[in-house]
Structure formats: C-alpha cells, structure tokens
Amino acid sequence: MKALFVPTYLNIDLKFELAHAGTRFGAYLIDWVIKWLYLLIVSSITSITFLGSSVLLSFLVYLPLIFYSFLFEWLNKGQSLGKYFLKIRVVGVDGNYPSVYQCATRWLFLGADTWLIWLFVIIHPAFYFLAIFSPLIGGLLILLTDKHQRFGDMAANTVVISTKQKEIYIEDTIYAYATKNKGYQPKYPEIMRLSDKDINQIKFLLERGSETLNPEIANKLARHIKNLLKIESNDDNYDFLKQLLNDYNYYAINEIK
C-alpha cells in the first residue's frame, strides 16, 4: 500500500497509509446508500416528487444531499459517514485536517464527477441509485495517480488516508492534568528546556498522527528527545512522550501560579 510521508522540523516523518481505491469506493457506496435512504424516507413522508411539486420545497429537500460531503468532511475532520465506517479520512498533504476551503474545493469537483446523475434525478428520484456508477473518471484517477488523488484532491491538496492503525488518544494534553491529577509528580524537569514550538510539535505528532503513528516513528521521536535533553528512560516510547507532555503541563501551570 502506498504511503504519504510528511516531514516535521524534528526530523521525524509522519507516515500516512493512503486509502485503497476499493475502500474509497466502499465508503462512497455507503454514503450514497445513506443519501438514497434519506431521499426515500423524505419522499414517502411528504409525497414529494420533482414533477408537480413546489420548486422551493423540492430544493429544500435536496439541500442535505447536495451539501452532504462538504458538511461531513468539514465538521467531522475529513470523514463522511462512509469514510468513518471504513476507517479512512481526508487530510491535507501536510497531514492536517482539511480546512473549509479544502473541503469546499473537493465538494465542487465532486459535482463534476456526478453532474449527469442529477439530470436523471430531476426526472424522478428513483433514478438516484444510478449515481453510484457516475464517478468513473475520479475512480480511474485514484487508481492511476501516485497519491491516489482525483481532481478534487489535486485541486485541494488533499489525500485520503487509512486510519486502521492503532490509535493513541492523548487524554492528558496541555493543561488537562490540572483538573484530573491534583497530586501529579513530574519525572523530567528537563522538558522545560524545550520551546513551546517543540512541545506543540510533539503534541501534533501524537494527536494529529494518532491514527498513523507506528512504533518506528514513536521510537525515533523518543530517541531524538532523549538525546536532545540528555534523558535516560526505560519507559515505553508512547508512555515517555505522554509523560513529557504531562510534565510540561505541570511546570507551565506552576510558573503561571
């Protein structure tokens, strides 16, 4: 499986496994099934068809379908419901969650892939299922391009990654320990020799890379910091990095006090 490597200034590359074309198509199918079910339910409740119904009312009914991909990927950090179920996510080529601009760009180009189906939908909602066959050009681009990008991804500088690797949740991030660990005892006072930029980079690697941070990357990051701060520790790499953040929390808050 192809991967995207995102360099960081700590000389640690984040590795993002690119989502397989089959998985992306599966997520696409799930999304269309969800939208199809929505259309059937709304149509049955309101007895709406495009023929003989209010143009405004029909437009309002279809608004959630039109903006489905854009809203979910923007508000749900790069995941539609289909992507969520199949554990894939849209991210920027820099590894960050997609911005509203990137989500909007992907959405606009998605319309170019599926414009033909709307002609059939205007005739009758029953033709909506044909949409699953419409994005053939996008599918070919995903298969043939180096980063598995369709036109929307290229324009928005995004990729779709797999999130099936072990996830690491950082429960005690900056300042969080104050309300959870009143008797906290720090282990590494050397952490205060790092700048806020360094700390934020560690936090970024752990949190933003939580779905792709494999043991090799964690080992490189931990070893880099140990060498930089002259720290000796036998802790597990993940535990060591989390401990560093918690220690920084402790000293930072006590400085404020």
Whether 213 is covered by a domain: the verdict is yes
Q: Answer whether 148's CB lies under 8 Å from 2's CB.
A: yes
Residues 35 and 153 in one domain: yes
Task: Show pLDDT as tens, one digit a residue, over the chain (257 residues).
Answer: 688 877 765 556 677 889 998 999 999 999 989 998 988 888 777 665 554 556 677 777 788 888 999 999 999 999 999 999 999 999 998 888 899 999 999 998 876 655 556 666 666 666 666 655 666 777 888 888 999 998 889 999 999 999 886 444 333 344 444 445 556 788 888 888 887 777 777 777 776 555 555 677 778 888 888 888 888 888 888 888 888 888 887 777 666 44
Q: How far apart are alpha carbons 150 and 163 in whole angstroms?
A: 19
Query: What pLDDT, on a 0 to 100 scale, did the predictor assign at position 135?
Result: 64
Q: How far apart are alpha carbons 135 and 119 in whole angstroms?
A: 15
Domain count, the chain: 2
Query: Percent helix, strand and coil across the chain, each rounded to 5?
Result: 60, 5, 30
Given 162, 195, 218, which residue is the final one in a domain?
A: 162
Residues 33 and 155 in one domain: yes
Q: What is the DSSP code (8-state) at residue 188?
A: -
For residue 149, the enclosing domain spans 3-162
Q: How far apart are alpha carbons 130 and 142 in whole angstroms?
A: 20
Q: How far apart are alpha carbons 148 and 138 in whole angstroms?
A: 10
